């Protein structure tokens, strides 16, 4: 442990002791011991046994701020600090792997933060809320607790890890603050339950919240599994066809922007983007010689490579997590004028996701080129989309793609005119 860290920890210990001595008279003046005991038990259980409420994902959920808001309201600042500091002790993490200075720092930082929050609550309540429900004073107190506790932890992390890249203070708080507002509103619900209906409803609301959280976490786990499957298939595609390595990722990026431009729902957009990442998965069944050929394909070879859409669809259709919207893979080479494959669908009979993917897939070919065809300039690509609107592409999608290109969304992908001319000359030789 470095000298600076030792000095910092000593300062935190001494400030906590000073707070304790100044507020000690409140220790004997607290008359609401039933609230103290109840809130301590709830805080302790929430920090040690919330795992039982999230048994599917094994994700532990902290409920410190929601319970703390009720503590601000019912008990004095000293007891708020004691209840929070002791109630947040975790046996699995702090007692089992006990390190005295870490343990003492954690208790001190939480004690200082919760006492400060309670003092702010008491001082601001009459000014901000009067005799009404403490919406604003609870918000102020929660923010003070959040800032002090996390700022003290931020400093100790930076002093302890001198050899790692330090996260900026703004980035640190931005990451942590994502759950602050949610915790605050949960705290208001719990406080209202406690005030109006007592401890029983307070406990029931907490149980209900954890049941809801368990549902969302299980859904999150399912989404993570979905993402892992997609990423695994993406690696398989890239390993199969090195020339087009990165193609699916780029197409997915273009798809993201085009879906936004199309004002599709978030759920539908996410499905289309995910499918875009693996739209060429069927190529794993196509012979390597055909995929990597730089010569013009024979009629039989072209028929074989066209079957990659059907191969991909058949491969994925029985996987429940990703079988939704699989028509996008099957039909992403259909054309608006009906001259595409595999079924020659025309116009709006082609799923919108497939129409979007057709445009994005073609855009990447235009931008990157192929062994037999050099990349195109920005102006040439715009002209190509105009030319193929109503033919290869849905006119509305072509118009929106042209607008995205003009607005500069893909400027970092376009090769310079000079570079393209060099590539054209190399192809001639």
- Asked if residue 380 has a cis previous peptide bond (ω within 30° of 0), the answer is no
Here the tokens at position 374 are: 């050099």
To 10 degrees, what angle do helices 395-406 and 352-368 make? 40
**pLDDT value, residue 393:** 96
**Rounded mean pLDDT of 247-257?**
89
The CATH superfamily label for domain 241-428 reads: Hypothetical protein af1432 (1.10.3210.10)
Q: 87 or 63: whose pLDDT is higher?
A: 87
Taken in order 74, 78, 82, 85, the sign of the CA dihedral is positive
**Rounded mean pLDDT of 395-407?**
93
d(CA 415, CA 417): 7
- Considering 53-62, 94-103, 145-154, the range whose residues carry the highest mean pLDDT is 145-154
**Rounded mean pLDDT of 48-67?**
56
**pLDDT value, residue 224:** 55
For the ranges 151-160, 220-229, 307-316, the lowest mean pLDDT is seen at 220-229
Q: Give the start-to-end residue ranges of the domains of the chain.
A: 3-220, 241-428
Q: Residue 255: which of 147, 360, 369 has the closest Cα?
A: 360
How much is the mean pLDDT over the chain? 81
* pLDDT tens, residue by residue, 90-146: 877 777 778 888 899 999 999 999 999 999 999 999 888 888 899 999 999 999 999
- DSSP character at residue 348: G
* C-alpha 301: how far from chain center: 42
Q: Residue 83: which of 29, 49, 34, 50 has the closest Cα?
A: 34
For the ranges 185-194, 315-324, 402-411, the lowest mean pLDDT is seen at 315-324
**Rounded mean pLDDT of 265-280?**
86
**pLDDT value, residue 61:** 45
**pLDDT value, residue 229:** 61
Query: Look-up: residue for tokens 């390190």?
Result: 99
Listed in sequence order, the residues at least 6 apart from 71 whose beta carbon sits closer than 8 Å to its beta carbon are 35, 39, 43, 79, 80, 83, 84, 114, 118
Q: Residue 179: which of 65, 59, 56 has the closest Cα?
A: 65
**pLDDT value, residue 427:** 43
Residues pairing with 393 in the sheet = 389
* pLDDT tens, residue by residue, 5-39: 889 899 999 999 998 888 888 776 667 788 999 99
Q: Decide if pLDDT at 367 tops 80.
A: yes
Listed in sequence order, the residues at least 6 apart from 106 whose beta carbon sits closer than 8 Å to its beta carbon are 88, 94
Is residue 417 very low, low, confident or very high in pLDDT (cuts 50, 70, 90)? very low
d(CA 199, CA 194): 6
Q: Decide if pLDDT at 318 tops 80.
A: no
* pLDDT tens, residue by residue, 337-361: 999 999 999 999 999 999 999 999 9
**pLDDT value, residue 412:** 77
Q: Decide if pLDDT at 425 tops 50.
A: no
Q: Decide if pLDDT at 164 tops 50.
A: no
CB 248 within 8 A of CB 280: yes
**pLDDT value, residue 342:** 92
d(CA 362, CA 351): 17
Query: Look-up: residue for tokens 């969302």?
Result: 216
**pLDDT value, residue 285:** 81
Q: What is the DSSP string of 218-256?
A: HHHHHHHHHHHHHHHHHHHHHHH-GGGTTHHHHHHHHHH
Here the tokens at position 209 are: 């919240």
CB 210 within 8 A of CB 50: yes
CB 369 within 8 A of CB 423: yes
* pLDDT tens, residue by residue, 177-235: 767 888 888 889 999 999 998 888 888 888 887 766 655 555 555 555 555 666 666 66
Predicted TM-score (pTM) of the model is 0.52
């Amino acid at each position: 442990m470095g000298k600076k860290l030792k000095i910092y920890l000593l300062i935190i210990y001494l400030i906590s002791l000073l707070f304790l001595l100044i507020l000690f008279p409140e220790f004997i003046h607290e008359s609401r011991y039933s609230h103290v005991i109840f809130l301590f038990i709830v805080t302790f259980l929430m920090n040690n046994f919330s795992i039982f409420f999230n048994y599917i994902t094994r994700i532990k959920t902290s409920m410190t701020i929601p319970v703390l808001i009720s503590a601000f309201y019912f008990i004095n600042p000293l007891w708020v600090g004691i209840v929070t500091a002791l109630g947040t002790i975790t046996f699995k993490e702090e007692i089992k792997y006990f390190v005295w200075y870490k343990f003492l720092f954690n208790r001190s930082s939480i004690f200082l933060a919760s006492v400060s929050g309670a003092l702010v609550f008491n001082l601001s309540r009459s000014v901000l809320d009067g005799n009404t429900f403490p919406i604003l004073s609870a918000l102020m107190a929660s923010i003070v607790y959040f800032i002090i506790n996390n700022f003290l932890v931020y400093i100790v992390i930076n002093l302890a890890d001198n050899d790692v890249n330090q996260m900026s203070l703004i980035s640190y708080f931005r990451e942590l603050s994502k759950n602050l507002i949610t915790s605050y509103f949960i705290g208001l619900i719990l406080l209202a339950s406690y005030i109006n209906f007592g401890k029983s409803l307070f406990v029931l609301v907490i149980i209900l919240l954890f049941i809801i959280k368990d549902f969302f976490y299980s859904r999150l786990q399912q989404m993570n599994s979905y993402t892992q499957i997609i990423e695994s298939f993406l690696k398989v595609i890239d390993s199969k066809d090195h020339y087009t390595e990165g193609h699916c990722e780029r197409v997915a990026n273009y798809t993201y922007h085009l879906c936004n431009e199309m004002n599709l729902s978030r759920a539908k957009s996410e499905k289309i983007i995910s499918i875009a990442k693996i739209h060429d998965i069927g190529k794993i069944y196509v012979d390597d010689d055909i995929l990597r050929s730089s010569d013009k394909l024979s009629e039989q070879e072209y028929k074989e490579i066209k079957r990659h859409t059907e191969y991909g669809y058949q491969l994925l259709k029985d996987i429940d997590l990703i079988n939704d919207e699989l028509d996008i893979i099957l039909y992403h080479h259909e054309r608006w004028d009906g001259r595409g494959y595999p079924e020659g669908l025309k116009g709006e009979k082609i799923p919108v996701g497939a129409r979007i993917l057709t445009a994005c897939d073609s855009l990447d070919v235009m931008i990157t080129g192929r062994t037999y065809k050099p990349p195109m300039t920005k102006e040439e690509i715009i002209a190509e989309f105009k030319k193929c609107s109503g033919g290869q592409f849905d006119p509305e999608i072509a118009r929106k793609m042209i607008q995205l290109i003009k607005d500069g969304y893909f400027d970092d992908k376009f090769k310079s005119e000079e570079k393209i001319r060099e590539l054209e000359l190399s192809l001639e030789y």
